[in-house]
Amino acid sequence: MMKAHSFSNTGTWIFFSISLLDVIGVVLDNSLLQLIFKPLIMPSLILLYYLSSKSKNKWYLVAMFFSFLGDVLLLDKSNMFLFGIAAFLITQLLYVFIISKELPLSDWKTKLIASIPFLAFFIILIKVLKPGLGEFLLPVVVYGAAISVFGMVSLLNYILRKDNPSMILLLGAVLFIFSDSMIALNKFYEAKALYGVAIMVTYILAQYLIFRYMLSRSVSTLPGEENKTKP
């Protein structure tokens, strides 16, 4: 068991070290650091998932692969932006699928409550972005709708479960939405230097929190969690 703990701790160290080096690359505007370390963020998280969980969710692994693909494509935001959106759209749809499969039964009122904040944010954001979207209007609306649904099902999951893992997932979804919103604001509304760092920090934390939720839904070998079982 101690060996498994050691592997998990090593995997966590690798993930956050790679993430930090990419963030440093953004802060320093060093394209070489970003080119090297951004594509390694999701592979290192996949490694951490393999080291930490005895029970692997294949759909989550596929979602992480498309996040990796999106990271690589968005290294070239000028020419590959739409392809990057497409890759992350698949990621968001898979996250929605994974969470929805395990949602407890709920009535329409609870679903409406979970939908309102994310629907409102989506409408306001699109209204702000619309003048600058041009030919990107449809893909941005489609992607924005998908990640809003991810937020909705995450909130619904928390309302129904009210436990720590579901709170972690909700926070991860909110951070993911913030990260993607800042990408859109930076590209289509008003570019700001601060967005670059904020985008990566919120994205990295979002992916890690989603990973922690997925870990809680499996038999884990992380320190202090070896006795957890599936709810």
- Taking 60 as the threshold, does the pLDDT of residue 3 lie above it? no
Q: How confident is the model at residue 6 (pLDDT cuts 50, 70, 90)?
A: low
**Amino acid identity for residue 64 in this structure:** M
- Taking 50 as the threshold, does the pLDDT of residue 229 lie above it? no
Tell me how far the alpha carbon of residue 29 is from its chain's centroid.
23
Q: What interhelical angle do 164-188 and 108-133 show, nearest 10?
A: 20
Q: The pTM is what?
A: 0.89
- Taking 80 as the threshold, does the pLDDT of residue 205 lie above it? yes
Q: Do the beta carbons of residue 23 and residue 33 sit within 8 Å?
A: no
Condensed to tens digits (0 to 9), the pLDDT of residues 177-188 reads: 999 999 999 999
What is the structure's pLDDT at 8?
A: 77
- Taking 70 as the threshold, does the pLDDT of residue 122 lie above it? yes
Beta bridge partners of 45: none
Instruction: Give percent of the chain above pLDDT 70.
Output: 91
